[in-house]
Amino acid sequence: MASDGSEPDTRERPDIPVALKILVAGGFGAGKTTLVGSVSEITPLSTEEVMTEAGAGVDDTAGVEDKSTTTVALDFGRITIADEVVLYLFGTPGQDRFWFLWDELAEGALGAVVVADTRRLDSCFPAVDFFERRRIPFALAVNRFDGASRYSAEEVREAVDLGPDVPVVPGDARLRESGKEVLVALVEHVIRRRSPAMSG
């Protein structure tokens, strides 16, 4: 009756659209959900995923009972690229003490947008570290809140200590044009990184 572990190969269905994902990360309240909403064709949806806490006292040989799991709240939006390609944008939870949960989330991601709030630039550091360590391409969206002092993109790049190739895109997460701009910069960055001619 049950067919545990013997599911049909689900990749052999070209008639079903294929999905890609981009993560939107950053500090608490930096504007992640706002950015997702401004570019999404649907009102952002929210859901929960149960993640395994890696490392936290987990014994490799122990059974499932000993693994500690945590529920993480995600919000996401959708952009239909073509009939056969759909792009999802996932906003990660802002509290940086959950950074260790992002491994499962980041699996298979095309890339990431890190939203930086110039009033609290340091709150994006854990996300930047995370994507750098995993060699996941990312772009930095510098979200200018009203009244926040206006750093130039280069000042932000220096303060966050980003490599010269990482796109830094100032904007306003509430505006679709800003969201588009940073996503375009990210995908162009991904294309450049994948092109062997450019990585010599």
Partner 1 sequence: MRGGTGVRADPAGPLVRPYAVTRGRTRPGPGAGLDMISVVVAVRDRAGGAVRQPEHARILRICRRPVSVAELAARLDLPITVVKVLVGDLIAGGDVAARAPLPAADLPESNLLQAVLDGIRRL
Q: Where do contacts with ligand GTP occur on this chain (CB under 6 A)? A: 26, 28-34, 91, 94, 143, 145-146, 172-174
Closest CA to 77 of 118, 124, 34: 34
Is residue 34 a contact point for Mg ion (CB under 5 A)?
no
| C-beta separation of 44 from 74 below 8 A | no
CB of 125 or CB of 145, closer to ligand GTP: 145
- Helix, strand or coil, per DSSP, at residue 77: strand
From first CA to last CA, the distance across the chain in angstroms is 54
- Helix, strand or coil, per DSSP, at residue 173: coil
Q: From CA 10, how far away is CA 12, in angstroms rounded?
A: 6
CB of 11 or CB of 150, closer to partner 1: 11
Is residue 184 a contact point for partner 1 (CB under 8 A)?
yes
Binding to partner 1 (CB under 8 A) within 20-39 occurs at 20-21, 28, 39
Q: Which residues bind partner 1 (CB under 8 A)?
A: 2-5, 7-8, 10-11, 13, 16-21, 28, 39, 41, 45-50, 64-65, 69-74, 76, 78-82, 85-88, 90, 93, 95-99, 107-110, 122, 125-126, 128-129, 160-161, 176, 180, 183-184, 187-188, 190-191, 194-195
